[in-house]
A = this chain, B = another copy of it.
Amino acid sequence: MKVSIIGSGNVATVLANLAFDKSHTIVEIIGRNHEQSKVLAQKVNADFSPYKSKIQPVDVVIIALSDTAIASVIENIEFNDSLVVHTAGSISLNVLKNNCKHYGVLYPLQSLNKNVNHTPEIPFLIEANDAVSQNKLLSFANTISNNVQICDEATRLKLHTAAVFVNNFTNFLYTQADNFCKSEKLNFNLLLPLISETANRVMAHNPSTVQTGPAKRKDINTINKHLDVLANHHQMKSIYNFLTKEIMEE
């Protein structure tokens, strides 16, 4: 298919590369950031340009912009008959309604970062405003992923919310542990095998069945030792207290 991409950040870069690798023709990279758009366009053999009102006709235009930028950027663009999709988990399909005839959502339920060397498995949640568009989007998505689901807006928002727990909040706990190790001159790398194992284990086991630790055991003695260790780490102590209480109440 002929594909153009609006945006040149993490999502734009990962999706452009994926589509290019699967032999789609990337026609244009249209971005605010001249240097980033140019670098990406060169990599996927595409034209590049700043935001503009007329874009070349293609099969799919992927809008990979921040949630807040989507509406204002597209209102000045004529899409004609192209299928236009955005990639945002918590934004309605209808943000595209006034400017596009055929439109949809292509939401990657994954944390995408252009500076990470490997491409992780990406489940895509898709929807579109009509059956023809949905089939076209499904065909496209199936070329770049083995895990594509048709998913309405409410369900997508629920999965986006759950993703915050397993990605943003989890990474925040890693950050707390990393900061603690730095300040106590401990080697954070010693925790990496445990981080791997904790994640790997839920690939095959229900997480509630593998919950362990002093909070789960209601082991007040160990909890108090940990709180002593955290005496001078106020934020971490507060998180420890809060989550320990939540686990004990389960």
A107-148 vs B, Cβ < 8 Å mask (1 yes, 0 no): 001110100101011110100000000000000000000010
How many residues from A make CB contacts under 8 Å with B? Answer: 90
The complex places the Cα of A123 from the Cα of B199 at a distance, in Å, of 17
The complex places the Cα of A120 from the Cα of B196 at a distance, in Å, of 9
Say which one of A26-34, A39-47, A205-213 lies at the interface with B. A205-213
A150-186 vs B, Cβ < 8 Å mask (1 yes, 0 no): 0000010111111111111111111111111100101
The complex places the Cα of A166 from the Cα of B208 at a distance, in Å, of 16
A210-248 vs B, Cβ < 8 Å mask (1 yes, 0 no): 111111100101100110011000011011101100110
| Secondary structure dominating the interface of A | helix
Smallest Cβ distance from A250 to chain B, in angstroms? 8
Contact of A177 among B162, B178, B187, B236 (CB under 8 A): B162
Residues of B within 8 A of A204 (CB): 116
Instruction: Tell me if B176 and A165 are in contact (CB < 8 A).
Output: yes
The answer to whether residues A229 and B161 also contact, given A208-B178, A213-B168 and a CB cut-off of 8 A, is yes
Instruction: Tell me if A201 and B240 are in contact (CB < 8 A).
Output: no
User: Is there a chain B Cβ closer than 8 Å to A75's Cβ?
Assistant: no
The complex places the Cα of A67 from the Cα of B93 at a distance, in Å, of 54
8 CB < 8 A contacts A-B: A110-B193, A116-B204, A160-B226, A165-B173, A169-B239, A169-B247, A172-B211, A178-B207
